[in-house]
Amino acid sequence: MRVGVLTGGGDCPGLNAVIRAVTKSLIHRCGAEVVGFVDGFRGLIENDTQPLGWADASGLLTLGGTILGTSNKANPFQYWREDGADVSDRAAGVYREHGLDALVVIGGDGTMSIAHRLQQKGLRMVGVPKTIDNDLVGTDRTFGFDTAAMIATEAMDRLHTTAQSHHRVMICETMGRYAGWIALYAGVGAGADVVLLPEFPYHLDEVLRVCKAREAGGQRFTIISIAEGAHPEGGEMAVAKTIPGSPDPVRLGGACQVLGAALEAQLESEVRTTILGHVQRGGSPTPFDRVLSTRFGTYAAQLVADGANGVMVARRDGKMTAVPFAEVADKTKLVQADDPLVRAALDVGTSFGTPALTPDLDTMG
């Protein structure tokens, strides 16, 4: 058996742990030969590979990033290096040239969408769900999310002491694109007073009311967790820049600054903003992500050994399973108003900045 592996999209803690698990499990189970494609689908398009033996996969469990490299531009159906040309037939030819029995693709929604289309061209594909955003449908968790949420929570913990000492409103902006999972988990984990998510456009008056109530109540500081995609009711998301040639050219950023400027004009407290940015996706994965990556990787190897095709590994109710690419491709898992963590946050007085999801301010503290 000969199996390819690639990592697509943005980097993420746990990628190397999955590479390790897939490679060692395939060698152990099947005596397979494993080949890595460099820089995601670019390696498949341009036939850029490196071998993945047992020794190559050793020492990777705690290592952040990906030894294979990655790219969030290398879409074989719209290749940026060739003016958006469809080079998927070339990618399929490289797959067949290597005599692959399967290709394990590790990535997020964009990677799974590409894998789904390649599978329709006759390539045997198995996916592993990666993203710090936790926005892939079909799985309760993606690896990388726990690490990102931990980093964001620790950052807000540190902002908390400065906010309390200087009586400030501290706004911390997390990643997440169009889904608010990191801001939600980190906000609840850090005890933020306000959590603002893309799924629930915020009302400035509601945020002001929380801040002023805390000023009047003697707390004299407020912690706000805001997702990069959060925006006011009737307003637009804050766009930091656009990347020509990228399948998703919009790069969000600056939502905290938009909110901060609006608040500062109407509050006695000083307002400070912090954009966490890429620190959330770097460094060593948490123990939870190391374990999840290992379970995902070994289960993906099992699926390959069993002849599966066109499916993504998933974690549902604590158990490993597989879901068809068709259920995952071109879909985004968003935070819902009835999510248990949203309800729990409301019960302890957290505001989501909207009348539809606002706790009784008398309970805040």
Residues belonging to the active site: 133
C-alpha to C-alpha distance for 80 and 76, rounded to whole angstroms: 9
Q: Mark 259-298 as b/e (b = at least 16 C-beta within 10 Å).
A: bbebbeeebebebbbbbbeeebbeebbbebbbbbbbbbbb
> Of the candidates 301, 291, 330, which has an alpha carbon nearest to the alpha carbon of residue 136?
330
Give, to the nearest 10 degrees, the angle between helix 204-216 and helix 255-264.
60
Residue tagged 């494609």 (tokens)? 37
70 within 8 A of 239, measured Cβ to Cβ = no
For 304, the 3-state DSSP assignment is helix
C-alpha to C-alpha distance for 112 and 124, rounded to whole angstroms: 13
C-alpha to C-alpha distance for 73 and 265, rounded to whole angstroms: 40
Structure tokens at 307: 């002849």
Q: Calculate the dihedral angle through the C-alpha atoms of 38, 40, 46, 49, rounding to the nearest 10 degrees.
A: 30
Extract the runs of DSSP E, i.e. beta strands, from the chain.
Answer: 2-7, 33-37, 49-51, 102-107, 125-129, 168-174, 194-196, 222-227, 239-242, 250-252, 270-275, 311-316, 319-324
Q: Mark 147-164 as b/e (b = at least 16 C-beta within 10 Å).
A: bbbbbbbebbeebbeebe
